[in-house]
Chain A
Amino acid sequence: MRRFLDPQAVSRLGPLEIVARSVVEGSISGLHKSPFHGFSVEFTEYREYSPGDDLRTFDWKAYARTDRTYVKLFEEETNLKAHVLLDASRSMEYRSGGAQLSKLDCARYLAASLAYLLVRQRDSVGLVVLGGGIQRWIPPRGGAGHLHDLLGALEEVRTADATGLAPSLHRLADGIKTRGLVILLSDLLDDPAAVRGALRHFRHNRHEVVVLHVLDPAELRFPFTGLCNFRDMETGQRVELQPQVFREEYLAAMEGFTSGYRRFASESAMDYEVVDTAVPFDRWLAGYLHRRMARD
């Protein structure tokens, strides 16, 4: 049996719930720790050390002072409240010949898988669909029933004309009161400065931010040839040019675009990843989660 799902096969699996379960159970179940943590870890009292206690909690200073062994006790971690923000602008519909899924479908499957994973580790997950403003907002909750509703909402996502990603993000940043995890799935094809400002807004509110930049291989490599008349899927604007002439310029611009976000994320302590839709999303997700756990 293949380790990862063939995206085309996945798309034929039908309901997102099955897809998400397949992905998480089949590919990610081998993870020993949760890749996402809660936040409220606070000191409560000391207790005498006994063998088997986690050495990370051993208080070496107290040992030095009193010559006695203590371990620190902490208040139990709170449950994680995660918001999955799904960009449903028209540009997310784009799918080139080199991709198995459209950017929206890829993002949708990723969102479903992450939701499934988080609910399985008893965290709360919410969903915000961004397209023509805030299209839909499901507050975070846990439980199988909520997951079912959430996956159903994902299946119903339809693209809408873009009205700007940044304003919606600002509204969300203002609206999400509880500190938690914010996962943005978007192609970020908007004014980078404005989007960064909005993301910084989340960080300001002490949210942990994960930006999954979903891009089609054609966007990343610009493989077109011959004279092309490009039509912008969001604005309908047309540009006629010889792609092979402009390829290097385009790739440089795209590289500048992604590296700009990467640098911004690094400076702002965010998690930023480019998701190439040519790569099977479950493989990409497994790799990402392993990298994330390795960092923690």
Chain B
Amino acid sequence: MGFGNPLVLLGLLALAVPIVIHLLARRTSRPVDFSSVMFLQPILVRVARRHRLKEILVLCLRCAALAALVLGLSAPVVRPGGARSRGGAAVAVVIDGSYSMGWQEGGISRFERARRSARELIGSLREGDECAVLLTAGPRPPPVLRPLRSQALADLEAAAVFPGSGDALEAVRSALALLRSSALPNRVLAVLSDLGEREWRELAGKASPALDLEGVSVVLADLGGGESPNLALREVRAATPQLVAGRPIEVQALVENPGGAAAEAAVALRIGEKVVAERKLRLAPGARTSARFPYVQPEPGWVRGSVTLSPDALSADDERFFAFRVAKGVPVLLVNGMPSPIRYLDELFFAKLALAADREAAGAALFEAAEASPADLAAADLARHRAVVLANVAEVAPEAAARLRAFVEAGGGLLVFTGEAVRPESYEAALAGLLPAAIKARAGPPSDDVFVSVRVLRPDHPLFRALGREADLSSCQLFSFHLLEPREGSQVLAATSWGTPLLVEGAVGAGKVLLLATSADADWSNLPLRGAYLPFLHEALAYLAGRGLAARELVVGDPGAPERPGIVARAEGGEEAFAAVNVDPAESSCRRIEPEEVRSHLGGSRAVLLGSGESLARAVEDARIGIPLSSGLVWAVLAALLLETFLANRRRRTRPAGGPRD
């Protein structure tokens, strides 16, 4: 608090006048002879206490009126943020630049409202003042305090909403550092934001260190809280695990209603610039749903497009881009341990038939199988494949074993069939750390007319769950198999009716390994002849191949990411590749940090919190030179005088009950 005319405060000494008059008036009484005091005595008892209180009240009101008059003449001002004088001021305007500020209310965005307020504020600055405009999000050049209003206005006009999130705490810190560097006596920090949780969580976090706000007046303008309907796209992804040319791809868009009102919109799938599918949906506040669009890409290559929503209050979250690579098929390397010129005797005869079977049915084969000999394995480029099948390979050379290990650790899948050629000691020596079980001796029923059946131990495993009823392995007959000794960390998915492990799964690095203790052909079992063989092999390889490399998606604002949403080209292993660039969906959330909480971190009660419609320029002016109290004090004088007049002249309604009783 300060005073424009502090010398006038000496006038407070005049407060002694009414007090002295009051005391003197109390002490000098004149004697009066009266016929009788019989009426006065009871009245005195009844009225005196009330009158004494009234006298004190009237005296207090007179003193208050006098004090208010003197204070009013001394031109008092309240400086909430610690402004020191009427000298120049350094003003830092921090504007929330995150894309939630693009939220439209009444045809104008929050950011534009912030810009208007800041424009008015900068226009109200005086000669000698300094001003800096800072954004919380987007590329931020080093902030500078501009001595000229025109420069600050130019900075302001150049500011724009960034299609990403920002860090309000960092911007506030930068602004405070800037203000501390100024030599001007008054420092004002003006913050304009919708107080979105994403933007302010750092500041509001409990671990956030206290800001040094000494000598800085803070004005916080809350621009949030709109209730306009808005739907947001949270995610767009390919729901189909394997994206293969000619086979249906399901594009899934997750739509959310973060607003406070029910909203409806049209969701459209765009490939390139063309809308290929569209549907309408309606969502209650806080609800979310998925919109699924089937799409078939006839040729291998990149599918680039976006999912869009019809325009609403916030446009930034109405489009999400995607870029999927569609392969000719899932590349699988089949290593044949016992090839044969007679097709049906070939170790991979049944496997190759199974992998090519859907070409006729679906028009395109899911798997693109390549065949190699065990000798080629050491030199094969495994990185081109998503899964490798070892079928009755007698032994694995150390170089090949190392390659296989690296392949699996990088996320590849390995399916191992045993067979009569397999030399367990070789596997143990080369693949001990890769296989989920140690291969032991060969076993089986003593004669051909006796067989061993299969029991699925983990029907809930993804492999068997996907197989469904067709995967009735119980009809399988095993004539021969290897005894397996599972290693620690592996799990047995199926066993023989003898109780020995038949199918064991293990995980190595990012990849998975399945070891089946029987052959891929019909030598050791009738599995290749059963209906379950094809789906089993498909699901096992799809399971091992995984979803492949996830589609690359960049978020605006992340290090190295572009500053605008869209699709960017990039080089990947010498080939052209693409990545989707999208906004951070969290920014479109309506969750806010409570204004009072933000205010508590910005100086608490010393900070001025502005609601909608309140002038930022006026608040900054008040914070800078203080809020003048003179007009309020004039009203206080009037009120005190009116009250004093009323009290002093108030006549209580009297009852004719005084004096002697009848």
Contact = CB atoms under 8 A, between A and B. Distances in A.
A253 B31 contact: no
Contact of A232 (B30, B37, B658): B37
Contacts of B26: 227
Contacts of A234: 35-36
Contacts of A241: 40, 44, 48
Contacts of A187: 35-36
Interface of B: 25-26, 28-44, 46-48, 51, 651-652, 654-662
A193 B661 contact: yes
A227 B39 contact: no
Residue among B25, B36, B655, B657 with the highest chain A CB neighbour number at 10 A? B36
Contacts of B651: 248
Interface stretch (A29-37, A131-139, A255-263): A255-263
Contacts of A252: 654-658
Nearest to B30: A228
5 contacts: A231-B32, A232-B38, A249-B46, A252-B655, A257-B660
Interface in A227-275: 227-235, 237-242, 245-246, 248-257, 259-260
Contacts of A257: 39, 659-660
Nearest to A232: B37
Interface string A109-143: 00000000000000000000000000000000000
B548 to A, nearest CB: 100
B525 to A, nearest CB: 120
Cβ-closest 10 pairs across A and B: A253-B659, A253-B658, A256-B656, A252-B654, A94-B35, A227-B29, A91-B35, A189-B36, A249-B43, A253-B39
B32 A230 contact: yes
Given A228-B32, A229-B32, A239 B41 contact: yes
A103 interface: yes
B40 A230 contact: yes
B47 A237 contact: no
Contacts of A192: 660-662
A6 interface: no
Interface in A190-222: 191-193, 216, 218-219
Contacts of A255: 656
A145 interface: no
Given A232-B34, A246-B40, 14 more contacts: A189-B36, A218-B34, A219-B35, A228-B29, A229-B32, A230-B32, A230-B34, A230-B40, A231-B37, A241-B44, A241-B48, A252-B656, A256-B657, A257-B659
Contacts of A240: 29
A83 B43 CA distance: 37
Given A249-B654, A254-B39, A94 B48 contact: no
A238 B41 CA distance: 9
A241 B51 CA distance: 10
B25 A249 contact: no
A252 B38 CA distance: 13
B659 A256 contact: yes
B654 A103 contact: no
Contacts of B46: 249
A234 B37 CA distance: 9
A257 B47 CA distance: 19
A224 interface: yes
Given A233-B35, A239-B40, A259 B656 contact: yes
Residue among B25, B35, B655 with the highest chain A CB neighbour number at 10 A? B35
A242 B47 CA distance: 11
Given A94-B35, A227-B25, A246-B40, A253 B30 contact: no
A226 interface: yes
Contacts of B660: 191-192, 253, 257
Given A193-B661, A242-B51, A256-B662, A229 B30 contact: yes
